[in-house]
Structure 1
Amino acid sequence: MLSPFARTLSAADAIHLLRRATHATSWAVIKSFVGKNSDSAVDMLLANASTNPKPTAPTWVNSGFKTWWKLPTADQQKVVDEVYKRVYDENYELKRWWIEEMAKDTLSVREKMTLFWHGHFTTKFAIDDPMHAALMYRQNILFRNLCLGNFRELLEKIAIDGAMLFFLNGKDSTKTAPNENFSRELLELYTTGIGHYTEDDVKEGAKVFTGWKVNIFTEEWKQYPLFQPFLNSEEHDFNSKIYLGQTIPGTSNNKTEVIALQEIKTLIGIILTRKAEVVSEFICEKLFRYFVYSKPEDEDATLIKTLAKTFRDNNWEIKPVVSQLLKSDLFFSEAVRGVQIKTPAETIVGITKHFDVKGDWKEWVMLTMGQELLNPPNVAGWPGYRKWADTRTFPFAVQQMGYFVWNQTNPQMIAWAGQFDEKENSDKLIEQILMLFFAKSPTAAQKEKYKKELLGGSPDYEWPNMLKNTEVGGFRLKLLMISLVKSPDFHLC
């Protein structure tokens, strides 16, 4: 059973919840959660995911590419080069745009859940054909809008999502040459996992997804809006199919997009009906790994089954599952605190929320640490867990976090310290800084160690005077934070 967490939230409880549900927080936000019960705290994080305004779109989201192949041969290479430059420039801008959204959203699970679905329905822009950033943007908005919505609806929409059509070659799939990529990943990675389908199911499913296109060129398929999926009915297989042992009816005279969409709905319905337990447990285990622990124990299987039943009982609504998990005794237990390795997104956004760091620097460090937004390593997404902290990435992360801090001015550091209660009291200041950045409540030994870093050998009573001297106080705070980011505790969640 997943018993509800009974007591009101302490500061340590609030920090744990916010650290797992958001990418960044502050002492002021933490204090606002202290004293709430888990129901009201989690309900707020879930409700805000839906009610927060949609982020402002980049300026290029409705701008298509030139149809380079219609130009004179002498001009084609120049335009192709321009297309590829736009692909990378705009996708890199989109990565920085998303990092900023992660930092701004301190009061909801929206960004964490959007990233969860991006890692589940993996799509990347760096492929052979130019993946317009406008397609990646629209997929990101799809994940935002349905991050806590209905999984059935999310499956139906991702099947003809423009970025997915590009990434898994769906835009080239025709009735005479069905492409099996999406059909296979729909089962293997998105719903059931390996071992619950046959090769015939993959082949028959591929026929359902034939004929879908998306236009990124200003002079092509002018009758269809840019970046919106549409059906070329001449390339769709309207014959009946046998999928997971059930018939998807065909048609010989009503060959329309409406019928093709209904085929997709029927196929998704077959998966969710005939493989209901398998699908629900597959998704709920991924949510468990994401929010609680990347390596579930054998005894966690029963808890995952409980979540899976909630998923099925609520007609595939995602929100009740996340709610039950985040409100549980298990989630708030000491046993699961500090057992996750922070993702690069959590690491970078978590610290740069507090300090002034340029967007391209943040994006480069996150990429080098192994998590490039919009460009995961392969169709299975990021392996995560211990892959986030190896002999290369951990020293690099420590180095760059130190550079982030060292790059601040001393007045900026003094202003940053202003968020903490009684910042003139070195004991309380150290305790709150460590609570903010460490996954577990600091020990007496840790508090003493970092107080020495802060004071530099001076007695406690000198700290208020040091703090009043901007150059001295700011410098000591820098040294404290540079020392703190070297600790393994900083890199756990």
Structure 2
Amino acid sequence: MVDEGERAVLDPAERHSRRKLRRRAFLAAAGGVAAGGLTIGTAALMSGGTGKGREPGGSPPEGEATAAAEEAGTGPIADPVRRAAHLLRRAGFGGTPGEIAEFASLTPEEAADRLVDFEGTDNAALEQRITRANFNLTRLRGGDGRPGMASDMRAWWLTRMAYTSRPLEERMTLIWHGLLTSELGKLGIPRTKFMLIQNELFRRMALPRYDDLLKAISRDPAMMVYLDTIQSSAAHPNENYARELMELFSMGVGNYTEQDVREAARAFTGWRLTAPPRVQLPEGASEAERRAAQDAAAEAYEPEFVIQPRLQDRGMKTFLGKTGPFGGDEIIDIIMSHDAPSRFIPVRLFREFAHANPGPETVTWLAEVWNGSGHDIREVVRAILKSAEFNSEAAYRAKIKSPVEFVVGAVRGLELETDFRATLRFWGPMGQTLFQPPNVAGWPGGPAWLASATFFARLNFLDAFLFPRGRPLRIEALLAREDAAGMVDEALRRLVDGVMSDGARAALVAHAESIRDPVERAATVAYLVLASPEYQLA
């Protein structure tokens, strides 16, 4: 601890460095930053070693049978507050204490309906916030003191996730971005707008009939460039989109043949976008003028889907056992009439929301919902969120948070104010740069989120976010509690449902008591809880 005499001679940078080392030393002593310690600790929690002995502000479950079931990781989540927090983490990005209390007053069925039927929820406050932030969503290279479009698109979307009143709308937008993947790196800076168009498509069709979403994404400018549909012709069919349409977007491996891929590729030939405006340059234009004119043309470009008949293969095709002069839409209709999507897409959604290992009965039940609803994603998601399996101890804290969940959950849980622009340099090291998934399969997720390098990137993010320029961030939600123990319990309540072992809590309190300045104490408590194994679990 820095005494008063030492404090007088240390410059701010030195004090910041020492405080950072103290925070890291605390985590190392607790086992979180030792080699593999975070991963081991998280794995122990996921397997049931949650240390549920202390739940500040809550009551123990009634009945020995319920307690035994919870300890074993089976049975329903009995505590309505914990159940509501679980729902808001999975169907959104976490909740404030007020939101959690509101959802805790509802039955699981009522809570799911409120999230799923979000269209009537007023989101005007979010749109006003977006307007005030003045995000650059039009100019490729920025200007007027604003960053380039790609950077501000990321900050814009993170702001939507953090402050929306329709959390499932943004969650589904992120799910579709990771499933029906495109990425800005291949598109290039002049086509940055294409990723924004795609993002707005996913938001507009957050809970669609899946057939309709597949047809829409097939015509989406970013997807057409990313998987090379715009290069496919009758003379030279490109198989990339046809293959991923079946393998990753609808059926899964093993449900089609290579001949099916070739035949489907023929059906998407001739699919094109309208041409961008021609760039008119005066003779002798400088390189800067040339680039400015090209940027202006790209910014003004509004691509539209067209079919060029001279490039289209309109011949007979045999696909999944059916024969006809099929085009792309008919290929999708045939895919969606097959049994494979009923056991692929609903299971993918179940894994997104609940846990990674649905049993055979669950797979069958999900297929029945899928078929009975006419492939309606809204009804599949509604059924998952209402299910006993989703609302069970087996699903509780059974997933590792992605970087988006890690950061946005902290902002929502602590009710912080940010436009996320200052966070953008940390997303690559943490492993999840929006609009830039690593490949067509999206982000791998799961344990890959907590490799040693990516976890230390999370710590580096917390250092910068909670201690900007070396000064502790003022966290009003924690400063309302003056004593160290109360501050720790408030952070635990907001960030980990109040669930932490007695020993870990006692160590946190002791460390907090060693910090005199309440603002620094609050920021340090937030840092240590956000770096804990418990918080890494969704």
Normalised by the length of structure 1, the TM-score is 0.80
Whether contact under 8 Å (1:125, 1:131) holds in the other structure is no
Q: Distance in 1 between matches of 2:105 and 2:78?
A: 5
1:433-480 Cα shifts (integer Å, max 9, x gaps): 2132126723333433333333339xxxxxxxx8xxxxx321221221
Whether contact under 8 Å (1:132, 1:216) holds in the other structure is no
1:479 and 2:524 equivalent? Answer: yes
Q: Distance in 1 between matches of 2:165 and 2:490?
A: 18
1:287 and 2:352 equivalent? Answer: no
**Correspondence for 1:30:** 100
Which residue of 461, 484, 494 maps to 1:436?
A: 494
1:368-406 Cα shifts (integer Å, max 9, x gaps): 111111111011111110110011111221232133112
Q: Secondary structure at the match of 1:331?
A: coil
Which residue of 336, 339, 349 maps to 2:395?
A: 336
1:124-157 Cα shifts (integer Å, max 9, x gaps): 0101655612211111111111111110000111
Question: Residues 323 and 45 of structure 1: is their aligned pair in 2 closer, same or farther, counting only changes over 3 Å?
Answer: same
Question: Residues 431 and 398 of structure 1: is their aligned pair in 2 closer, same or farther, counting only changes over 3 Å?
Answer: same
Which residue of 437, 441, 458 maps to 1:376?
A: 437
Question: Residues 487 and 380 of structure 1: is their aligned pair in 2 closer, same or farther, counting only changes over 3 Å?
Answer: same
Shift of 1:122: 0.7
Question: Residues 268 and 27 of structure 1: is their aligned pair in 2 closer, same or farther, counting only changes over 3 Å?
Answer: same
Shift of 1:106: 4.9
**Correspondence for 1:320:** 379
Q: Distance in 1 between matches of 2:163 and 2:502?
A: 33
Whether contact under 8 Å (2:369, 2:379) holds in the other structure is yes
Q: Secondary structure at the match of 1:126?
A: helix
Whether contact under 8 Å (1:62, 1:226) holds in the other structure is no
Shift of 1:114: 0.7
Whether contact under 8 Å (1:281, 1:308) holds in the other structure is yes
Q: Distance in 2 between matches of 1:148 and 1:372?
A: 24
Question: Residues 361 and 135 of structure 1: is their aligned pair in 2 closer, same or farther, counting only changes over 3 Å?
Answer: same
Q: Secondary structure at the match of 2:461?
A: helix
Which residue of 172, 182, 186 maps to 1:113?
A: 172
Shift of 1:333: 1.4
Larger RCO of the pair (alpha carbons < 8 Å, separation 6+):
2
Shift of 1:200: 1.4
Shift of 1:21: 1.3
Q: Distance in 2 between matches of 1:435 and 1:140?
A: 33
Comparing 380-389 with 431-440, greater Cα deviation is found at: 431-440
1:230 and 2:306 equivalent? Answer: yes
**Correspondence for 1:245:** 321
Structure 1 residues 46-445: aligned runs within 5 Å: 46-48=116-118, 89-127=148-186, 132-215=191-274, 217-219=276-278, 226-249=302-325, 263-273=327-337, 275-276=338-339, 278-293=340-355, 295-296=356-357, 300-353=359-412, 354-357=415-418, 359-407=420-468, 413=474, 415-417=476-478, 423-424=481-482, 429-438=487-496, 441-445=499-503
Q: Distance in 2 between matches of 1:163 and 1:109?
A: 23
Q: Distance in 2 between matches of 1:119 and 1:318?
A: 16
Q: Secondary structure at the match of 2:384?
A: helix
1:289-348 Cα shifts (integer Å, max 9, x gaps): 11112x316xx2321221121011100000111111111222121222222110011012
Comparing 445-454 with 189-198, greater Cα deviation is found at: 445-454
Q: Secondary structure at the match of 1:213?
A: strand
Whether contact under 8 Å (2:161, 2:408) holds in the other structure is yes
Q: Secondary structure at the match of 1:174?
A: coil
Shift of 1:349: 1.5
Shift of 1:162: 0.6
Comparing 52-61 with 444-453, greater Cα deviation is found at: 52-61
Q: Distance in 2 between matches of 1:335 and 1:144?
A: 30
- Letter of the structure 1 residue corresponding to residue 533 of structure 2: P
- Letter of the structure 1 residue corresponding to residue 528 of structure 2: S
Whether contact under 8 Å (2:123, 2:164) holds in the other structure is no
Query: Paired residues, what number?
Result: 433
Whether contact under 8 Å (2:156, 2:419) holds in the other structure is no
- Letter of the structure 1 residue corresponding to residue 105 of structure 2: G
Question: Residues 201 and 414 of structure 1: is their aligned pair in 2 closer, same or farther, counting only changes over 3 Å?
Answer: closer
Q: Secondary structure at the match of 2:306?
A: strand
Question: Residues 109 and 9 of structure 1: is their aligned pair in 2 closer, same or farther, counting only changes over 3 Å?
Answer: farther
Whether contact under 8 Å (1:409, 1:474) holds in the other structure is no
Structure 1 residues 458-469: aligned runs within 5 Å: none
Shift of 1:238: 1.7
1:37-90 Cα shifts (integer Å, max 9, x gaps): 111111111122675559669887678x9xxxxxxxxxxxxxxxx89xxxx932
Q: Distance in 2 between matches of 1:269 and 1:22?
A: 31
Whether contact under 8 Å (1:24, 1:102) holds in the other structure is no
Q: Secondary structure at the match of 2:509?
A: helix
Whether contact under 8 Å (1:168, 1:182) holds in the other structure is yes
**Correspondence for 2:58:** none
Q: Distance in 2 between matches of 1:136 and 1:144?
A: 12
Q: Distance in 1 between matches of 2:183 and 2:419?
A: 24
Question: Residues 445 and 329 of structure 1: is their aligned pair in 2 closer, same or farther, counting only changes over 3 Å?
Answer: farther
Name structure 1 gaps, 5 residues minimum.
66-81, 251-262, 458-465, 467-471
Shift of 1:168: 0.5
Whether contact under 8 Å (2:76, 2:393) holds in the other structure is no
Name structure 2 gaps, 5 residues minimum.
1-74, 280-296
Q: Secondary structure at the match of 1:247?
A: strand
Q: Distance in 2 between matches of 1:60 and 1:388?
A: 29
**Correspondence for 2:24:** none
Q: Distance in 1 between matches of 2:259 and 2:305?
A: 27
Taking only aligned residues, the RMSD between alpha carbons, in angstroms, comes to 3.1
Shift of 1:112: 1.0
Question: Residues 60 and 285 of structure 1: is their aligned pair in 2 closer, same or farther, counting only changes over 3 Å?
Answer: same
Q: Secondary structure at the match of 1:230?
A: strand
Once the two structures are aligned, what percentage of the paired residues are identical? 28
Whether contact under 8 Å (2:466, 2:472) holds in the other structure is no
